[in-house]
Structure 1
């Protein structure tokens, strides 16, 4: 695993979050501390601090899955806003 942390907005995977039942969490970097890890955020908005030794760059598939989840959440939020403003009728 890499000890060098890319800059803000990079996609990283925190291997320390993996369990036998779930894959490791993928996140976008929102803050980097010199020599002491970084702050990541999931597609749903959960933020956590990760240690440099637990991180690796996200694969193309992991980045695509993250982006797809973000797009889905944005679509759902936009639909809800339209509904709350009376823009759609059921």
Structure 2
């Protein structure tokens, strides 16, 4: 069963050494998930990783995520993106080979 297909907002901020991204969960209230970095690859494309505390300190002079998210949301560029649908098991902890007693 397909699930998870949606349009999301990605806010991209070009940093000095790497780019930073926040995915916005709710477009109306700008609730967000978490900070991601591009690992110095540049741009908003490619793989996203959690930046290290040192990366955040070097770029923003703090590692406080609330402060950093506010800076990214305030200075970054909002981009609407399509999130692909997901497929697969809904409960990976259930193993159909287990037998009940």
Give your verdict on TM over 0.5: no
Bin of the TM-score, shorter chain as denominator length: 0.3 to 0.5
Structure possessing the higher relative contact order (Cα contacts under 8 Å, 6 or more residues apart): 2
TM-score of the aligned structures, taking structure 2 as reference length: 0.32
TM-score (norm 1): 0.35
Structure that is richer in strand per residue: 2
Rg larger in structure: 2
